[in-house]
Structure 1
C-alpha cells in the first residue's frame, strides 16, 4: 500500500484525540484499544484517583506502560498534510497565519519570531508553530490558531492565560520540556504528564492544583492547632494569676 494512501483509510474523527479534540500528537493505545495523545492520557491519569480509560471507563490495577504508536502517528501527520498542507489548517478570519506575529506583537517578542526562547504549540501536529499564549488551567501552550477555543468558547472564559515564556519559566520538566502539571506524592516533587507514563508510572500522583489545595488545608489545620494551643496557654496563665491573687489576699 502506498504511504500517501494511508490517510484515506481513516476519517478525521478517527484520528482525533477525545481528550484534546485535536489530531493525535504522539498517539498511544490503552490495553482496552482506545487511542489518545501521550501527554493527554498521562495528564488524565495523573488527575484522577483511579486509572481508567476516559472512553469505556475500564479500570486498570496500575497505569499501563504505553509506547507511542509510530505508525498511527505517521498516519495522523500524513492526514494533516493531505488535508491542510505542511503548514496545518488555514487560520480563521481575523487570526494571523502560522508564522505571522499576533496583533500587538513586536519583532523582539519571543512569541512573534522563532528564536532561542520560543515556546512551541502543544497541539500542532507536523510542523509546529510558535505559541502565543499559555493556559494555566489546561497546562498547555497554543499558537494563534489553536488558541481560538479559549477566546471564543464560554467554557474557557475563566481559564487564566499568560505569555508562554512567563507561564513556563521555572515550571518545565528538564527531561520532556513540558509544564510541571502533576505532583508525585511518592517522590514529593512536581513532574510533567509524560513522566507519569515513565518512571512515575506506579507512583501516587495528583494534579498540582489538587496538591496545592491539600497543602493549603494542611497549613490551615496546623495554624488552627497552634492557635488552640495558644488559647489554652492563655487560659492556664489566667487561672494561675487568679490563684496567685487569691493567695496574696
Structure 2
C-alpha cells in the first residue's frame, strides 16, 4: 500500500484497499472501488452488495472502468510530490550519473555530458528527447520498436509513425504533444468540477449537521418546557388536594 498524499487523496481512495484507485469502477449505487478489489470482495461474499453502503444487487453488475475518474487519478499521480525513481546514465562507465534526458530513437538515457552529441551532431539533433523514465517500454511501439509520437483518436491509443501508415492509415492521428495538451486542459476542468462538487457536498453535509443540531436543541428546549409545565401542574394539583383535605377536616370538626 502506498502512502500517496495530496488535496484529493481521500476522494481518490478505494475504501477497500485504502489506496489510490487502480482501474476504478462505479457500482450502480454510485460508489467507486478498484476493479480488482470489488470483484475480490464479491468472490468472498455470499451476497452481491456494495462494500460501502451495503445496497444489495440482484445479480453481479458488469462494471466498466470509469475513464474520467482514471484520467483524474493519472493527473493526480503526475502532480504527486512523491519521489520518482532516479534514472541513471546508460553511458557512464564508472560512477553512474543521474540521467538528464532520454532519447526515444536511441532508446538510451544520457547524463549532461553524454547528452552533448545530441545538441551538436546534425543527425542526432532530429532525435526526440524527453525526461528520463524507468519504464521506457511504455514509450516505444512494441510492434515496430519506434517512438510513440502520435495519438490515434479513433482507437484512443498512442502509435508510432509506422503504425500511422499501416494499422491506423485512415484514422485521425495527431502529435502526442497536441493531444496531451488538450487532455490536460480537459482534466484540469474535470478536476476543478470535481473539487467544486466536493465543496458543494461538504456544504450540504454541514447544512444537514447544522439542521440536525438545531432540531436537537429545539427538541431539548420543548422537552424542558413540557417537563416544567407538567411539574407545575402536578404541584398545583397537590396544592389543591391539600387545601381540599384541610377544608374537609375543618368541616368535620365543625
| More contact order relative to length (CA 8 Å, sep ≥ 6) | 1
Asked if Structure 1 and Structure 2 have the same fold, meaning a TM-score greater than 0.5 normalized by the shorter chain, the answer is no
TM-score with structure 1 length normalisation? 0.31
Q: Which structure's residues are more often helix, by fraction? A: 2
TM-score (normalised: structure 2): 0.31
